[in-house]
Amino acid sequence: MSVRRVALITGGTRGIGLGIAEALADEGFDLALCGRRDPADVRDPIEALRARGADVLYTVADVADPDARRRLLGEVRRHYGRLHVLVNNAGVAPRERNDLLEATEESFEWVMRINLQGPYFLTQAVANWMLEQHAADAAFAGCIVFVTSVSSTVASVNRGEYCVSKAGLSMACRLFAVRLGAAGIPVYEVRPGIIQTDMTRGVQEKYDRLIEEGLLVQPRWGRPADVGQAVALLARGDLPYSTGQVLMVDGGLTLARL
């Protein structure tokens, strides 16, 4: 009987993270999920994932907290004893959208710790574990995915800290791809565009109007499932010779047009 592969998805109980978790559950992965919500508040999505056939471990952990990251990986080790895929998905928008000339250092530091510093050092810890697994078994197949945003290259002057955090994640992807390439552990970036989630609910009317006016080549909101399908093909190993590459899931938003 083959051993089921395990994927750790940060922020995997709602929005894009849940879309990714659903796609990987359908691919036969068991799931380790983390978030900041109480287990009682995520019971419904977890039970729905289990109904898809996945074993699901949920840990309350803020990726910005080093102790929480260590505890998270300790629980994954105890429960599964293995980890094949890391999806760095958890992230936040600024609590307030402020003009670049008015934004505060407090907001910058808060966004950076969650969106960039936490994933960077979680990836460091997971990479070392994956190298350990590869040393023990040459057939080990690992994969790391950074979920970023079109904001890594598209400037929004009323949420500069978010843009800078996502641009930093794009470089983190390249760095870890170079470092892990010799061990056969590919690292990818998935860059979503305008995705319909809790995070974008407050700007629904704005983007409805912009989409109607032709903002996107494919004139509809993106869905969490769109991102999930992109991550699933990477986790399956369908792009084995493309480490460090960016997979756009933006409906053509960033295509240059006249």
CATH number at residue 136: 3.40.50.720
Q: Within a domain: residue 234?
A: yes
| Residue 66 domain-assigned (yes or no) | yes
Question: Which residues of the chain carry a pLDDT beneath 50?
Answer: none
Active site annotation includes 162: yes
Q: Does a structural domain hold residue 184?
A: yes
Decide if 114 is inside a domain: yes
pLDDT tens digit string along 106-118?
Answer: 999 999 999 999 9
Contact 11, 88 (CB under 8 A): no
Residue 218 covered by a domain: yes
**Structure confidence at residue 1 (pLDDT):** 63
Q: Among 58, 80, 120, 162, which one carries the catalytic annotation?
A: 162
Q: Quick check: helix, strand or coil at residue 228?
A: helix
Let me know if residue 258 belongs to a domain.
no
Task: From residue 134, give the alpha-carbon distance in Å to each of 117, 129, 231, 232, 238.
Answer: 26, 9, 22, 21, 19
Per the structure, the count of domains in the chain is 1
In a domain, residue 256? The reply is no
The residue type of 142 is G
Q: What is the pLDDT of residue 47?
A: 98
The confidence score (pLDDT) of residue 199 equals: 80
So what's the pLDDT on residue 203?
86
Element containing residue 166 per DSSP (H, E): helix 160-180
145: helix, coil or strand? Answer: strand
* Domain carrying residue 139: 6-247
Q: Is position 167 within any domain?
A: yes
